[in-house]
Amino acid sequence: MEDFPDMYQGKDPEDIESFQGERRKVIQPTSLKDPKLEKLKTVLVDWINSTLKEEHIVVRSLEEDIFDGLILHHLLGRLAGVLLSVEEIAVTSAAQTRKLEVILEALNEKLGLQDSSLSRWSVKLIHNKDLLATLHLLVAMVRCFQPNLELPPNVRVEVVLLEVNRSGIKSEKEIEILTDESDSTTDSLSSSDSEDPIEQLLKLEPHKINTVKRAILHFVNKKMSTLGLQVTDMEKQFSDGVILLLLIGQLEGFFVPLYDFNITPINTTEMLTLSGLAAECDRGPGPPE
């Protein structure tokens, strides 16, 4: 067990007491001055302001302007067309927390996050003006809703993982990745380009693979929404070929009549037939004769 880190020296004991029994990540003060982190914050602020320009909303500080849910509510409406029945301006802490609960539930759904316990943000963290959680949320929103926006690459911060109890603070240092690395040499680019994309994907870290899966899931559900269908488990729902066949039809602009295939296959033979039909559809401009 260690004494309180420098960042907690001089803090009100009641403030430290509020973290009792929790494990929490805090960005090291030295990392807060990292030019890459400052650039990321600037890009995110500019992105929010340009997105909400028509609504005359201006953000100056991610730490101070995101916590009450107002900005996130407007971003969700503007980027995803989701209109929530929440009060426009929540004044009290309790009202802000209730508003954030509704907003983050809708946001997590749009981001394809099925289990909120696995996310790097939460109602409590956002409301407590946690910069690390706020950055993770905004980066995830950019990747989902505006993937063409260029974020500063390879942004990493040193964080302290804190566990607070009455005898002090147990702390561990680690590196937190906010944005992906970029290739720095031509050789690495050439090697990456020549490698099969699936092989590249399998080499990614688990959290990056999950990010890719969430993006794919969001894309699939966006295309399937016109058919009233939703995919929650890609491994299971794509295994029989039905969703794959319907998705190809949505992407290529045709619809395979339901009488041409079994929409509820019950055995391996029927599933293989559907997969073959999907493959044939994917090779040409329309369904097979």
**pLDDT tens digits for 30-53?**
999 999 999 999 999 999 999 999
Q: Please say whether the beta carbons of 67 and 95 come within 8 A.
A: no
pLDDT at 186: 37
pLDDT at 50: 94
Cα 42 to the chain's mean position, in Å?
Answer: 19
Which of 66, 48, 44, 59 has its CA nearest to residue 127? 66
Q: CA 50, 76, 175 angle in degrees (round to 5)?
A: 80
pLDDT at 285: 47
Residue 24 β-bridge partners: 162
What residues in the chain have per-residue pLDDT under 70? Answer: 1-22, 116-118, 182-208, 254-267, 270-271, 273-289
Q: How far is it, in rounded angstroms, from Cα 2 to Cα 240?
A: 55
pLDDT at 18: 54
**pLDDT tens digits for 52-62?**
999 888 999 99
Q: CA 168, 170, 173 angle in degrees (round to 5)?
A: 140
DSSP output for 9-22: TT--HHHHHTTBT-
> DSSP 3-state assignment of 5?
coil
For residue 236, give both structure tokens.
């299971």
Q: How far is CA 214 from CA 28, 90, 130, 259, in A?
A: 29, 30, 23, 32
Q: How far is it, in rounded angstroms, from Cα 156 to Cα 95?
A: 34
> DSSP 3-state assignment of 25?
strand
- In this structure, is the dihedral angle defined by the CA atoms of residues 185, 188, 192 and 194, taken in order, positive or negative? positive
Q: How far is it, in rounded angstroms, from Cα 146 to Cα 131?
A: 21
Q: How far is it, in rounded angstroms, from Cα 24 to Cα 282?
A: 48
Q: What is the DSSP letter of 40?
A: H
pLDDT at 262: 63
pLDDT at 46: 95
Q: Please say whether the beta carbons of 157 and 28 come within 8 A.
A: yes
Q: How far is CA 225 from CA 97, 98, 220, in A?
A: 30, 28, 9
Length of the chain: 289
pLDDT at 177: 92
pLDDT at 155: 94
